[in-house]
Amino acid sequence: MGTLIRSLGILIEFIEILIIIRVFLSIFRVSLDNSIGKIIYELTEPILAPARTILNKLGLDRGMFDFSPWIAIVLLKVIYSLLIRILV
């Protein structure tokens, strides 16, 4: 059971790192046309799309800043903590 929890934790941390890298690529306006950019985009978009949907439904999608990466990271942490409580 400990191995499963640790593996899940590593996966969540990896996804969080990819989301943060995507934020920096967006800030520095790096093109997502290269292979690394495409991989990061394809791995993070399934996580960020629901966060954008939540922001759209709340009416918080307007403005200069995209808060969907931060919402996605918070949701990942909440889901991880819920899974730990269920598994332990």
Segment (H or E) for 33: none
Q: What is the pLDDT of residue 20?
A: 96
At 3-29, the pLDDT tens digits run 988 999 999 999 999 999 999 998 888
Are 23 and 41 within 8 A, CB to CB? no
Say what the pTM is: 0.87
pLDDT at 32 over 80: no
Q: What is the pLDDT of residue 50?
A: 92
At 46-65, the pLDDT tens digits run 999 999 998 889 888 777 78
Q: What is the pLDDT of residue 1?
A: 78
DSSP string, 1-16: -HHHHHHHHHHHHHHH
pLDDT mean over 71-81:
94
Each domain of the chain, given as residue ranges in start order, spans 2-87
